[in-house]
């Protein structure tokens, strides 16, 4: 449904995309995962015909993004990263407007948005600018769906949205996928990667890996340990100490705990605990954990760096 072949794009001397290729199947929920500046938005803008690629090609439902841009605009729904609806129009006026400029009506495709729109319908006479973040996202999704697109492209739809709304939003995407809509979604949140059918890990304009979330984490070959500490100061000290420990490949702070990797069988939980205890760090627990997408990402980034 979406086919990207060796796309390159530069802004001046800055290379945003360095030859990206990927393919998204019909009805797939595909995630572009990567930190800010990885090139997610640039790739999406090329796919929705807002940007021209420097090199390479991209096809949406078999149509070329450069030569068939007019046709593509009618079959793609796009939700930009920044809220881009009219803040001085009401909820209903926004929806009405986007339905009509695509030559349709709200009623014709209401079945597609019913689940989402019904949640904000009580506020249909409220100005869009006065909605909460979560409701804005629902309205933006409704507006990008109202012309019944075959492909939906969502640029960081959950950034800046509260945890409950984020969960709801992903449930909605899941339902839309079951209606046969192909969805390409980008997110900087690694935990959301597990909700996709397949993901591409993007970093500095290159793809580090493309696979199902399960295969990606399963491909993690090293031993991974989580180190839990008691205080923030202790965490800082432990990170410093662990970086100097023999046989440890990487040390990253992961919120409350520290993740360390090693591919030496000689290093197990007990060795790490003893090492830290021996240097005056008490009250720590070390356990073997299975890798998350984020761990894989860190690992791939480190390899890339070397």
CB 16 to other proteins: min, Å:
13
Is 4 or 143 the residue whose CB approaches other proteins more closely? 143
CB 94 to other proteins: min, Å:
9
CB 142 to other proteins: min, Å:
12
CB 103 to other proteins: min, Å:
8
Give all strands (DSSP E) within 97-255, no chain letters: 151-154, 182-187, 198-203, 206-211, 223-228, 250-254
What angle (nearest 5°) sits at the alpha carbon of residue 294, between those of residues 77 and 254? 125
**Which strands sit side by side in the sheet containing 257-262, from one edge to the other?**
250-254, 257-262, 223-228, 285-288
Q: At what angle do helices 163-178 and 110-120 cross, to 10 degrees?
A: 170
CB 74 to other proteins: min, Å:
5
CA distance linking residue 135 with residue 118, whole number of Å: 11
Phi, psi of 94 (to 5 degrees): -60, -50
CA distance linking residue 149 with residue 75, whole number of Å: 5
Binding footprint of other proteins on the chain (CB under 8 A):
45, 48-52, 70, 73-74, 76, 78, 80, 82-89, 93, 97-98, 100-103, 143-144
Is 18 or 71 the residue whose CB approaches other proteins more closely? 71
Is 73 or 222 the residue whose CB approaches other proteins more closely? 73
Handedness of CA 242, 244, 250, 253 (dihedral sign): positive
Is 149 or 213 the residue whose CB approaches other proteins more closely? 149
Is 148 or 241 the residue whose CB approaches other proteins more closely? 148
């Amino acid at each position: 449904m979406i086919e990207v072949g060796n796309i390159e794009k530069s802004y001046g001397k800055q290379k945003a995309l360095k030859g990206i290729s990927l393919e998204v199947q019909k009805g797939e929920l595909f995630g572009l995962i990567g930190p800010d500046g990885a090139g997610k938005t640039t790739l999406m803008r090329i796919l929705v015909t807002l940007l021209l690629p420097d090199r390479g090609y991209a096809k949406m439902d078999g149509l070329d993004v450069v030569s068939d841009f007019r046709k593509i605009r009618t079959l793609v729904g796009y939700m930009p990263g920044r809220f881009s609806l009219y803040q001085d129009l009401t909820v209903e006026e926004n929806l009405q407007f986007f339905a009509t400029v695509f030559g349709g009506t709200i009623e014709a495709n209401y079945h597609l948005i019913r689940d989402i729109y019904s949640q904000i319908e009580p506020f249909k006479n409220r100005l869009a600018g006065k909605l909460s973040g979560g409701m804005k996202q629902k309205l933006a999704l409704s507006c990008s769906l109202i012309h019944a697109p075959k492909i939906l492209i969502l640029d960081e739809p959950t950034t800046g949205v509260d945890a409950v709304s984020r969960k709801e939003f992903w449930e909605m995407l899941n339902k839309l996928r079951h209606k046969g809509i192909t969805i390409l979604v980008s997110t900087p949140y690694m935990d959301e990667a597990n909700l996709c059918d397949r993901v591409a890990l993007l970093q500095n304009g290159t793809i580090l890996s493309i696979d199902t979330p399960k295969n990606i984490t399963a491909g993690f070959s090293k031993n991974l340990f989580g180190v839990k500490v008691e205080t923030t100061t202790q965490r800082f000290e432990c990170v410093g100490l662990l970086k100097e420990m023999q046989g440890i490949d990487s040390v990253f702070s992961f919120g409350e705990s520290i993740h360390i990797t090693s591919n030496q069988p000689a290093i197990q939980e007990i060795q790490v605990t003893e090492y830290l205890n021996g240097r005056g760090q008490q009250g720590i627990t070390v356990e073997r954990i299975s890798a998350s997408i984020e761990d894989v990402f860190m690992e791939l980034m480190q390899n890339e760096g070397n």
